A and B are shown apart, each in its own frame.
Chain A
Amino acid sequence: MKVIYHCYGRAHSSVVASSLHLGKLPMEGKVRAELIMALPEFDLAQAEDWGEPYFMGRDEAANEVYILGLNSLAPVCVKAILSLAGQLGQADQILLINTLPEIGLVTRVGGFISKKLGWPRIGKPLAAQGIIHALPRLRKLVRTVKKEIIRKVQDGEEKDYHHYRW
């Protein structure tokens, strides 16, 4: 299965959510801002990277995990991607997760300062600080995603079983 965490610019919330998913960040306990900022993709993507899924790794169940920046077009793009997947008979093989609602104003302002104003020395630490505040929500999101993946896999196995039986 392909798991795609998407946000505005795929530089902050989607990077952290995917890192939590892949075990690069802990799911429990405190995390320091330095650890967030040390993530290779954190605060890195530029506007020209929008619309390009970036492969972050495989999780423990071999699901491929990606991040994707969709600017302000998330509602339309997600509909179009799922519509395309549906036409190809693969709607159950792709999971798109919007990470943007899980972060607060601090990360957004930090991202704006870093990316729009071009001042990463100020914006990046601010965005990381905001992420620390948002971490409980991002962790909850990732837990929900992992449950959803298990449910989808079980559904798929049940379908295969019925197909085999009849």
Chain B
Amino acid sequence: MAAAIHLGYLPPRVGTEEELRILRRQFLPFVQGLKSAVAVGILHHMGEGKKGEDVFILATGKKTDLLLKTLTNILPLLGEDPLHYHFINCQTYMIQKAQTDLDPCGWYNQIGQMVRQVQKGL
């Protein structure tokens, strides 16, 4: 969903639950998530953002931090600068935020807020 917002398939913010329900019924790429366990660990290219950035999604399973640390450390071996990559752990962000927000659409708007922060940092 974060990637869908990042690429503009979905708005960064919704006002009501009804609006959110309608949006979620649309057949947008990957909005329903990756269903198969086979997809864990495979990078899926979603598209290109407004600044030309490539957007990927990655199902990590357990111990996300170790996986992201490994990928970051592998980048120089592949001739890439880790500073050009942003690995965003959506789950950590959501858990931190969920404890403070009581808005029924809050979880969605928090993803939107996270995406905006990522986009600003590009």
* A residues neighboring B (CB under 8 Å): 2, 4, 50-53, 64, 66, 68, 70-73, 75-81, 83-85, 87-88, 90, 93-94
Contacts and interface: CB of A to CB of B under 8 A. Distances in A.
Bin chain B's interface residue count.
Answer: 20 to 34
Nearest to A77: B70
Contacts of B94: none
Interface in B52-76: 56, 58, 60-63, 66-67, 69-71, 73-75
A66 B41 contact: no
Given A51-B66, A70-B66, A84-B71, A77 B77 contact: no
Interface of B: 40-43, 45, 56, 58, 60-63, 66-67, 69-71, 73-75, 77-80
Nearest to B80: A88
Describe A's contact surface by its main secondary structure: mixed
A106 B56 CA distance: 42
A81 B45 contact: no
A80 B43 contact: yes
Contacts of A68: 70
B60 A76 contact: yes
Contacts of B41: 75-80, 83
Given A79-B40, A79-B42, A87-B45, A53 B74 contact: yes
A24 to B, nearest CB: 21
B61 A53 contact: no
A71 B56 CA distance: 25
